[in-house]
Amino acid sequence: MTKTFALFALTAVAEIVGCYLPYLWLKQGKSILLLIPAAASLALFAWLLSLHPTAAGRVYAAYGGVYIGTAIIWLWLVDGIKPTTWDLVGSAVAILGMAIIMLAPRGSSI
């Protein structure tokens, strides 16, 4: 579980960086050259998603929970905005959802 979570977190950082750099160019007037590392980061993101050993749909659904938590950490560390209690509660719920998806016994249904 730790390996999966770490891979999801790294994947989320790659996606966020790949989207944040064009944001800096479009909204803050930074260099268009930021699109080069942004494209590389998004390629890394896609490759990292392919490393998970389970079905793609399940990976994408579970990844979403970790992405939410990582984005809240980004909000705090990069944007300099302290997360609210509701940000933290929402992130915890999303990560719990990821854990349920990834840890559920396979072959059983509700």
At residue 79, the pLDDT reads 92
The structure's pTM equals: 0.81
Q: Mean pLDDT for each 10-residue chunk of the chain (110 residues)?
A: 83 95 96 98 93 78 89 95 97 91 73
At residue 5, the pLDDT reads 81
Separation CA 64–CA 15 (nearest Å)? 11
At residue 106, the pLDDT reads 73
At residue 32, the pLDDT reads 97
List of long-range contacts for 35-44, beta carbons under 8 Å, 24+ apart: 41/14, 41/15, 41/17, 42/14, 42/15, 42/18, 44/14, 44/18
Sign of CA dihedral 77, 79, 81, 87: negative
At residue 101, the pLDDT reads 84
Q: On the CB side of 4, how many CA atoms lie within 13 Å of its CA?
A: 16
